[in-house]
């Protein structure tokens, strides 16, 4: 198996080079986006307690009911455009966007920032990291 891999690499250097270039670009993109405008669970807790930050949970209703951050608003990512007006009253407060793993919340953060919300942050690691850190969740 290893011999075949080395033979492939020797016979197709341009293809392998292109693959490695795309892989490196993808990794760089993911690393940049994972740290951009994100907060850790500890930082989110401080924002909630000190600045009355609003938590927007973008998971579907079933996941939200299974466990969410206390006081979070459930606005599924698929309906964020039509329910954007619900956040108009809290536009001046920090908004923390939460998803399941912290990967899909970036799209919601971008939509809210484009709509004029000045302090929109995502929770790094999402609800999975929140629960891994042993922080409390509310179940309904």
- pLDDT per position as a tens digit, 83-128: 998 999 999 999 999 999 988 898 899 899 999 999 999 999 999 9
Rounded mean pLDDT of the chain? 91
For residue 60 the two structure tokens come to: 């579907």
d(CA 41, CA 132): 10
- Structural domains counted in the chain: 2
Tell me the C-alpha to C-alpha distance, in Å, between residue 12 and each of 5, 19, 23, 24, 99: 11, 11, 17, 18, 41
Tell me the C-alpha to C-alpha distance, in Å, between residue 56 and each of 8, 59, 65: 48, 9, 14
Q: Is residue 45 part of a domain?
A: yes
Known catalytic residues are: 99
The total of other beta-carbon atoms located within 10 Å of residue 47's CB is: 20
d(CA 72, CA 45): 12
Q: Is residue 138 part of a domain?
A: no
The SS3 call for residue 39 is: strand
Question: Same structural domain for residues 42 and 84?
Answer: yes
**What global pTM score does this model have?**
0.75
Checking if the pLDDT of 36 tops 80, the result is: no
Checking if the pLDDT of 35 tops 70, the result is: no
Check residue 38 and give its pLDDT.
85
Question: Same structural domain for residues 26 and 86?
Answer: no
Question: Same structural domain for residues 78 and 121?
Answer: yes
Q: Is residue 137 part of a domain?
A: no
How would you list the strands of the sheet with 120-123, edge to edge? 38-39, 120-123, 95-98, 54-57, 73-74
d(CA 110, CA 61): 22
Domain housing 22: 2-34
Checking if the pLDDT of 13 tops 60, the result is: yes
């Amino acid at each position: 198996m290893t011999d075949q891999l080395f033979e492939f690499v020797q016979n197709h250097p341009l293809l392998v080079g292109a693959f490695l270039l795309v892989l490196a670009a993808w990794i760089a993109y993911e690393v940049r986006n994972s740290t951009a405008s994100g907060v850790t669970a500890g930082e989110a807790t401080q924002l909630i307690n000190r600045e009355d930050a609003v938590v927007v949970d973008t998971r579907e209703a079933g996941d939200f009911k299974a466990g969410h951050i206390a006081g979070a608003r459930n606005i599924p990512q698929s309906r964020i455009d039509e329910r954007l007006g619900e956040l108009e009253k809290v536009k001046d407060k920090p908004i923390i966007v939460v998803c399941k793993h912290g990967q899909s919340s970036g799209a919601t953060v971008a939509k809210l920032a484009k709509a004029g919300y000045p302090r929109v942050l995502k929770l790094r690691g999402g609800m999975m990291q929140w629960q891994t850190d042993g922080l409390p969740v509310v179940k309904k």
